[in-house]
Amino acid sequence: DKGDFEHFMIKEIFAGPKALRQTLNGRIKDNKIIFSGLNFEIKNINKIFIAGCGTAYHAGLVGRKAIEELTGLQVEIDLASEFAYRRVLWQAGDLLIVISQSGETADTLAALYKAKQAGIPVLAILNVPGSTMARWADAVIYTQAGPEISIASTKVYLTQLMALYLLALYLAQERGTLSEAELNTYIKSITTIDQKVEKALALQPTVKEIAGYYRDTDNAFFLGRGYDYPVAMEGALKLKETSYVHAEAYAAGELKHGSIALLNGDVLVIGLVSQDALAEKTMSNIDEIKSRGAQTIVICKESLQKYCQEYEKVIIIPDTEPWLAPLVTVVPLQLFAYYMAVFRGTEVDNPRHLTKAVTVE
Ligand code: M6R
């Protein structure tokens, strides 16, 4: 049931904050993260591998950064379809995390089986209970987003990030890599992040207007550094699959190493600026792009506004700690993809050639 919404996609984008609260529910008590059912020795883990496809992979990229920063554990991440067929140098103490909304994706299952065959424990971050991955994994963290109908994943992406952030904090707590005070600060920001997501959703009219303005664009580049880069990847994927606009994501610093040659007045560049320590560098990359005549939209954190004053199309998002910014920056990108699709008249909830769970390798 779509309720008052025209499509499931927009309904699910707006369900993001509630979904986040459901993922958090029961997992924090007295300033401690609780994960019942993680039945392998977290303290003995030496290294983590992550595998997933599409949006789940993009969530994993953010998760890797958070786990590395908060715990000092080494994390490798692969597209599941690549991981399954490469030589992995397993060692005692390895853990594989698979991320999947459906729990049925063939490529991700192949990655899971590969670890199982090597005797490596698998933790699955899943949304659908009772799925094939749920049966094979040693432990499951459910994202608790509720059913996601639209083929383009939106609310589940938010909850995959939340599950990974919680896991990072849990690992830090159990392994003692953060002080109690640090842990409390992190926990506080994670339990109030849904309010920032709500605020970002209030940008809907602004984003709709901007999408209307750029509806005929055929090429879009999404740029970001640090935590903004995987979000740029997610923004590009969302735009491609819902509106069929050709879109690519680049690490902001990489464009000048070749792809900048593609820029002209017909290209739309969407820059993400949410990382305090990287904002200046990203903006200098975006300035360079603007001077090549490309059209630009800057998605900028409130406290970093001074860097994008000269830009006409700026979407200001609420302030967040850099590590949590992906939960907020992705919201205008989801809305942008949605409205581009609506304006271009595509089948928003059921884009051509796609299925909700891809069960072939
Ligand atoms: O069910 P899964 O999370 O394993 O699916 C993985 C991808 O197929 C999926 O995220 C796909 O990229 C979405 N359509 C993206 O919106």
Residue 38 confidence (pLDDT): 81
Instruction: State the Cα–Cα distance between residues 73 and 29, nearest whole angstrom.
Output: 25
Cα(139) to centroid of ligand 1, in Å? 21
In DSSP terms, which residues pair with 326 in a beta bridge?
Answer: none
Cβ of 143 less than 6 Å from ligand 1? no
The yes/no answer to whether this complex scores an ipTM above 0.95 is yes
Cβ of 160 less than 6 Å from ligand 1? no
Cβ of 54 less than 6 Å from ligand 1? yes
Residue 44 confidence (pLDDT): 84
Residue 37 confidence (pLDDT): 77
Q: What is the residue with the minimal CA distance to atom 12 of ligand 1?
A: 54
Confirm if 346 and 332 have CB atoms less than 8 A apart: no
Residue 36 confidence (pLDDT): 81
Residue 194 confidence (pLDDT): 98
Cα(121) to centroid of ligand 1, in Å? 23
Instruction: State the Cα–Cα distance between residues 30 and 79, nearest whole angstrom.
Output: 37
Instruction: State the Cα–Cα distance between residues 286 and 256, nearest whole angstrom.
Output: 11
Q: Which residues of the chain have pLDDT under 50?
A: none
State the amino acid at position 25 in one-letter form.
N
pLDDT tens, residue by residue, 45-64: 999 999 999 999 999 999 99
Q: Taking the CA atoms of the chain, what radius of gyration do you get in angstroms?
A: 20
Helix and strand tally (H, E) in the chain? Answer: 12, 12
